[in-house]
Structures are given as C-alpha cells and as structure tokens.
Structure 1
Amino acid sequence: MTAVEIFKILSDTNRLRILNLLYEKELCVCELEYLLGVSQSNLSKHLRLMSDAGFVESRRENKFVYYRIKDEVLEKHSFLKNTFEIELKKEDYLTEELDKLNSYKKSAINCQNITALICEKAIS
C-alpha cells in the first residue's frame, strides 16, 4: 500500500471516523454502526474499500465480522501513528467518538445487545 493510497483512504470523513476507532480496538460492524450512527450499508461500503486497498483486515466470529487496521500498514507507514495519536486528537468530533468507545468498553453492551437495539430502532 502506497502513501498515495493511504491518503485516498484518509480523505473521506466516514473512513477517518472508522479508522480512528479501529486504531484503538478491533470492532464488529454492528459496534461501528452503534458508535458512529452510520448505516450498515454505508459502513460495509467503506470497510470493503479499505479492505480491498489492504488497509484493514477482518475475521468472522459466529455471525459477526470484526475489523482491525493491519499491523503491516502501521509498521510500514510510521506517519500513521502520529496521525492517529496526535493529529486526530485535535478534532473534537473524533475525540467525542473515542470517549463514546471508552464508555462502550466499560458497559455491559455487546454485539447481541447492539443488534437488538438497531433492529428496535429500525422498527420504530
């Protein structure tokens, strides 16, 4: 993956929001949907693009798919560490989403709960 390809990935706000959370923790699609308030179809589009580019990788656990940033990308492109750990912390909306992630990690909510909440929200 080239630096130009990385900057193309980072140029979209939704992908930047997703990666900001994935830099902190591997997350399931439903967790990203819950934390970001983005539709599953929108998330899937961005995750597929990032996966095809070699930026993220996924694993399946039962019916849930978990994503994370590839270690090789972070190791090969050292500027990303500075981007995620310093530069993105200057953006209020991104730090608010990290705060939401930290609250989520401390809660009893899990993928099964989130799926039920999302379905309930869609019905109402």
Structure 2
Amino acid sequence: MLRAERNLRKKQKSLSRKVKGSRNREKAKLLVAKAYEKLTNARHDFQHKLSKRIVDKNQALIFEKLKSSNMMKNGKLAKHIGDAAWFSLSGMSNSARDRNAGMNIRLAGIIDLKAEGFTVSA
C-alpha cells in the first residue's frame, strides 16, 4: 500500500505541472485515476484479508463505536485513521462471519457485540 501511495503522489505532482487544457494533462489525469484505483483496491484487499483472519482466529468479535470524526482532527494520525476505515472493516468481518458460517460449524457460534463508546466495562 505504501508503494501505491508513493506512486499516486508522484503522478499527482506530475499532473500539477502540466499545462491546463493540454493533451498531456489529460493523459496525466488518466494516470492519476489509475493510481487512485490501485490504492483503493489495495486497501479493500487488505481489509478483506484482515477480516477473514480475524473471523477465523476468534470466537467473539467486539467492535467499539468510536467517534472517528473527532479522531480525524488529530493532524498526525488523521491519515492512518482514515486508511483504517474501521466501519467498513467491521462490516466486512460481519459478512465474512456470515459467509463462512454455512461452511464451518465452529463459525456459526461466533458472538458479535457492539460496544458503545465511553462505556465502563468491569
């Protein structure tokens, strides 16, 4: 994923240097679009693999509802928090659990809990 991000950055910089309205700028736009698509596909692939691994190795899934919009205000962590896409990861793990439950008896008993934020559990 890091390589795809670097490639995107390089393509965007190249696009910004092209003359507006030129044919080379149009070509550079297509290259930037392809780089975005590769990066998006890499993120989705990672999330699918991670959710599958989480479902296979655990018997209970507990996802806390986080205020990610507030967390995105942190300038040093915002990019990484956005890349993590926790909401879609929880959705993918739920669908992986449901998809695999029919094939494997052990997975049919996985517990899925949603924990509220700022809840004390003792």
Decide: shared fold, TM above 0.5. Answer: no
TM-score scaled by length of structure 1: 0.28
TM-score scaled by length of structure 2: 0.28
Greater C-alpha radius of gyration: 2
